[in-house]
């Protein structure tokens, strides 16, 4: 996958790029953050590294930047933990507990098995799941929506004028836990 269309779209929107990440840099990033990039995001970031405002500079290994990216990665988890009482119970989870304390405990327990979310741009994330090209979701507090069925679709929605409602939702790969609370 070349991502040429997405790269041209981003360039047309004034996004600045550095050269893509090297294999050595990618290994260091995955080791530093204890993650494994989904194939699509890894290949994109190895082709080009967007560095304009709103994107994350994975190449920067300064302590402050590492702390910042880790904070952004943890934010969705912290928000769900904090607002667990406001999460709508998913029917697939079985019978809803009778009181708020038990509901919050159950939601927080389910969150423990949720995939890590990698920040792409602002509060848009891609889950670390065993799919080559997973969906992108927007996470703002506990307001969570799909923002692209895959990476290229996401760039079309974020930068190309495609409406979020025009995403082909029936073709979106479900994300454990996160899809349940969308």
pTM: 0.94
47-106 pLDDT tens trace: 999 999 999 999 999 999 999 999 999 999 999 999 999 999 999 999 999 999 999 999
**CATH numbers and ranges of domains, the chain:** 4-166 (3.40.1580)
Please tell me the predicted confidence (pLDDT) of residue 1. 64
Pairing of strands 143-148, 136-140: antiparallel
């Amino acid at each position: 996958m070349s991502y040429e269309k997405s790269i041209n779209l981003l360039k047309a929107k004034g996004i600045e790029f550095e050269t893509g990440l090297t294999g050595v840099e990618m290994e260091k990033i995955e080791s530093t953050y204890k993650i494994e990039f989904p194939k699509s995001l890894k290949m994109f970031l190895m082709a080009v590294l967007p560095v304009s405002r709103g994107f994350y500079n994975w190449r920067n290994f300064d302590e402050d930047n590492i702390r910042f990216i880790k904070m952004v990665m943890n934010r969705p988890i912290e928000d769900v933990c904090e607002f667990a009482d406001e999460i709508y119970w998913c029917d697939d989870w079985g019978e809803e507990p009778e009181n708020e304390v038990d509901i919050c405990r159950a939601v927080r327990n389910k969150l423990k098995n949720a995939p890590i979310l990698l920040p792409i741009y602002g509060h848009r994330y891609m889950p670390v799941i065993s799919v080559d090209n997973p969906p992108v979701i927007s996470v703002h507090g506990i307001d969570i929506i799909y923002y692209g069925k895959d990476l290229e679709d996401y760039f079309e929605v974020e930068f190309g004028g495609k409406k979020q409602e025009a995403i082909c939702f029936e073709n979106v790969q479900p994300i454990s836990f996160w899809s349940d609370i969308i």
